[in-house]
A and B are shown apart, each in its own frame.
Chain A
Amino acid sequence: MNEIVMPRLGFTMTTGIIVKWRKKEGDKVEKGDILLEVESDKVTVEVESIYAGILRKIIGKEGEEIPVQEVIGYIGEKDEEIPERVAKKAEIQSRKTEGIKAAEVKSGLGINAGEKKGRVKISPVARKIAEEMGIDYETEPITGTDPGGRISKDDVLAYAKSRKEGVKQPEKPEAGEIAIKSSVPIKGIRKVIAEKMSFAKTTIPHLILNIKADTTHLLKFREDIGKKVSSDRGMKLTYTDFLIKICATALRENLVINSSLQDSNFIIYDDINICLAVATEQGLIVPTLYQCDTLGLVDIAKKRNELVKKAREGKLGYRDVTNGTFTITNLGMFGIRSFSAIINPPQAAILAVGEIYSDTAVVGGKVEIRSFIDLSLSCDHRIIDGDVGAGFLQKVAEYIDAPDKLQLKL
């Protein structure tokens, strides 16, 4: 009898939600058949069987959130006895996935997930230590590494070590004081967003730089090129496509922004993979456009269209949402003129883009009406200083003002 276990789809994955079983109990399974769909870290992954046989028993139910390495089913011969369920020891660090392999397994983002809902499983001594240390194990994201996700003494100590001093949970309002419309435990994409944002905002010292760029030339430029592309290739180019190209070019010239601080290592990436924040029904998703500086505008537009479509349909693959090195987020379509964004870890910087607006400007001693855009760059001050961030942002503004300087290929 072979065990099917919840696969680890990234280094930081601790639990996965079973979205759907594609096979029923009693179904014949061949090696490579898709067994089920698992949701984790924002994506749904199809999980293949590495065993052939009969799907004898399904333990993990659809919608259930299950710790990595826990047995979720058995594949075996028709008459083989189904073993009593034994909780897997979660040797989180060392063990490879067994029983099944994920369609794709890639390293994830350096954040720990650890949802607490209902009764929290915790060992007596771990509970005692948590209470002594003032850690609320019911609400704080302590990752339990024992069978069934139970929190051990070591887990509490590791959590205490990682917890930043002075970060305290806000007081909850008195019961009954505020009428509650609904209260649901957050999970899936919402949980990942919550954890990433908390991590970013509490551990990364954000340095925020603002600049106003003149888009008058860019508007004209886009109109000219847009017409050409539209008639030649039947494609529509958006401002976002230009911004991606401009950022990629500016990043190549200021590569230190295209970086990451991981385990005390300052990593500068050679690939420029720009993430684009996309709002979907499930929440914010940030798909990745790989090696943007090598792509022409048309290819950027094509890839962007493809990713946005996949994001809205919930069809992004694991690779589509990982390996980004820089993020652009745009709220201009909502009439937002300027805002500052939270860094998307483990990246080092994010560019927040507002709407294009008209304003008066003094040009050659005369007042003119021109169009502008406000940009705000948030960067990780641990590795990026103000002058470096400003140099990059200035370059972006320069390209916006003079897009003809871009080495453009269509």
Chain B
Amino acid sequence: MVKQKNKSNKPKVAVQSITGCAGCQLEIYYIEDVLLELLDAVELVAAPMIKEKNYDGPVDICFVEGSVSHTDSINKVKKWRENSKILVALGACAGEGGVQQQKNFMDKKKVQAYVYGNKTKHLDVETPVPITEYVEVDYYIKGCPADKEEIVWFVKQALLGKVPKQYEKPVCHECKLREKYCLLEQGQDCYGPITFGNCSVMCPDYNHPCTGCRGPFSDGNFEEHIKLLQEKGFSKRLIMQRINKYGGLRTQKIMQEAKDGKNHP
């Protein structure tokens, strides 16, 4: 029999999940080409989706997917924060609230009734918010789902001892570098200019306009972009729905700040 290896001193990694579709976590397991090398470099100590025994002590890196949508999630994320040297928000739900945060812009009772009828008494539901509402995160891997290239890149950076800076350019930059003919010019409602980039412009590459899954670009000119889309014939209602789809909470903040003139000191 092969001897059990001594306790490794490889960095401990946990992958945790709260309310979401688990698609971001799956992106990790879909890293086919280098997954084994990756698991060679770190020790995956907790990943309830694919592991039976899960360690719940201190770890070096903890990836958290999902939004805080239940009261008990609050304590969970706080504990994970306490237990992790580096806490990473994995995907749009953890970082922005994700699609479910659209509930913030709707009548909550109506939404609940629509989904669960009158059987809602057992639910201890919060309005969905990103985990960043409750804990500080060291890095946020954007996207719906989180981009696996960026996951691999992040792990490399962490292993090199770095907590990297967030990418701070809109989708358009990379889109132009790849010489995609602007979808706005083709009359589509593309949200590239107001969405954080570094996604390998996957959607525009297939002529699908950006829907904003990486969350609102903090320096985006929302006011002008909305105006532009309206000029192209899209209704304000549709535009606002799209804009609020993944990261409406932060979008609202950015737009308010722009209105208050913080962008024009």
Bound together: no
